[in-house]
């Protein structure tokens, strides 16, 4: 996907639901779900007033610059080539839209719910990107494990509540409730993945393709079911600062094709729809194309960005039947039509990574 920058891109706030409403299974939130995720929605919805969230976000995001600043040889020990860098530290391994390796950000991947999702050696060989074990910097940054798991678990619990209300919305007007509902699929999965992201500061204004909206993170749709996102923290030498450029941050392409900059409160958790939900809901819930724009100008010098994404995903064995009308990655051949989530992920990894295990 390539979209050039436009000076008239509007800034839009997310549809917001409060935690106290969300946790009530008897409240009908289908109007809010439709507003956020339905055919005319932005494809993002945020949850406010989640008890304990703000401190857990601050704790984890504050560790991202420290992790990225560890000596190269220490970070190398946290890499896992066999999982195609889907556990532990990953920098410069994934390809950007342009086909070049992504040197702009470093990521740390782990399953916040299970350190060892399976001991079955066949599964570990078949799907190492999900079935491998977590790698924690227990000597070099011992605080990371607890902070990552605490935030990941909370965002998962809240995400399950969002999924419950998505199911209610999708099954509205249908005689039979969906057999494979989103909440159940996510509850039974061993495949959830947290990603702590650290965007390195631009050394000079020519490092980034500054004119492009996708200058920090290219246009994509997440391939899982539901992605939880923190609001990012900008910092300089690890000290939090307000972002000097209001144009920097998350952009979304809406269902009608419009590009908007999306904003939500620092104490809100945002959720976006991934491709698998679009497939399983037969398009009632649409996946959300998004990207991140880097700050521009002199003041952007030295500015770093830290954030956390929780990819809530089906189990690796979950069968997905790709209907013709649901668009997915244009560059993946889905001629088989039925793939497990693990197989679908493998096809995407073949596109975004050069190395094979
Ligand atoms: O950095 C962000 O805000 C979004 C990151 C993202 O889209 C992803 O990791 O899939
Ligand atoms: Fe994403």
Cβ of residue 307 lying under 6 Å from some atom of ligand 1: yes
Cβ of residue 230 lying under 6 Å from some atom of ligand 1: no
CATH of domain 11-317: 2.60.120.330
Cβ of residue 195 lying under 6 Å from some atom of ligand 1: yes
**Ligand closest to the CA atom of residue 307:** 1
Comparing CA positions, the residue from 308, 86, 318, 50 lying closest to residue 182 is 318
Give domain limits for the chain. Answer: 11-317
Cα 122 to middle of ligand 1, angstroms: 31
CA distance 324 to 258: 23
**Ligand closest to the CA atom of residue 275:** 2
Nearest ligand 1 atom, CA 290:
7
Q: Bigger pLDDT: 125 or 207? A: 125
Query: In the numeric block, which tokens belong to residue 218?
Result: 């290219």
**What does the angle CA 275 – CA 87 – CA 337 come to, to the nearest 5 degrees?**
30
| Per-residue pLDDT, 242 | 95
Q: Bigger pLDDT: 2 or 174? A: 174
Query: Cβ(104)–Cβ(197) under 8 Å?
Result: no
Strand partners for 197? 107, 307
Q: How far is CA 151 from the centre of its chain?
A: 14
CA distance 41 to 124: 39
pLDDT digits (tens, 9 = 90+) for 230-278: 999 999 988 999 999 999 999 999 988 899 999 999 999 999 999 999 8
Comparing CA positions, the residue from 266, 272, 273, 281 lying closest to residue 322 is 281
pLDDT digits (tens, 9 = 90+) for 56-97: 999 999 999 999 999 999 999 999 999 999 999 999 998 877
Strand partners for 338? 321
């Amino acid at each position: 996907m390539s979209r050039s920058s436009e000076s008239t891109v509007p800034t839009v706030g997310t549809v917001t639901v409060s935690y106290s409403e969300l946790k009530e299974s008897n409240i009908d939130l289908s109007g809010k779900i439709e507003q956020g995720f339905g055919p005319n929605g932005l494809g993002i919805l945020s949850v406010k007033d989640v008890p304990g969230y703000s401190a857990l976000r601050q704790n984890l995001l504050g560790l991202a610059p420290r992790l990225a600043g560890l000596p190269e040889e220490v970070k190398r020990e946290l890499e896992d080539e066999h999982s195609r860098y889907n556990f532990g530290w990953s920098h410069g391994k994934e390809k950007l839209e342009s086909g070049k390796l992504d040197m702009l950000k470093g990521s740390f991947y782990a399953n916040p719910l299970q350190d060892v999702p399976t001991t079955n050696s066949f599964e570990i060989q078949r799907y190492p990107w999900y079935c491998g074990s977590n790698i924690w910097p227990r000597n070099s940054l011992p605080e990371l494990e607890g902070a990552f798991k605490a935030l990941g678990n909370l965002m998962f619990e809240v995400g399950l509540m969002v999924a419950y209300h998505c199911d209610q919305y999708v099954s509205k007007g249908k005689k039979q409730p969906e057999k494979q509902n989103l909440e159940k699929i996510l509850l039974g999965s061993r495949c959830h993945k947290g990603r702590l992201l650290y965007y390195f500061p631009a050394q000079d204004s020519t490092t980034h393709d500054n004119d492009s909206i996708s200058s920090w993170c290219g246009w994509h749709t997440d391939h899982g079911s539901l992605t939880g996102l923190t609001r990012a923290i900008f910092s300089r030498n690890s000290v939090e600062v307000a972002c000097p450029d209001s144009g920097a941050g998350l952009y979304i392409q809406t269902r009608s094709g419009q590009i908007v900059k999306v904003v939500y409160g620092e104490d809100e958790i945002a959720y976006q729809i991934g491709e698998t939900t679009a497939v399983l809901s037969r398009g009632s819930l649409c996946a959300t194309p998004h990207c991140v724009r880097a700050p521009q100008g002199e003041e952007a010098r030295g500015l770093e960005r830290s954030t956390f994404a929780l990819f809530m995903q089906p189990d690796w064995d979950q069968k997905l039947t790709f209907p013709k009308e649901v668009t997915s990655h244009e560059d993946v051949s889905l001629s088989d039509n039925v793939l497990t989530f693990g197989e679908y992920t493998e096809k995407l990894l073949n596109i975004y990574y050069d190395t094979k295990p």
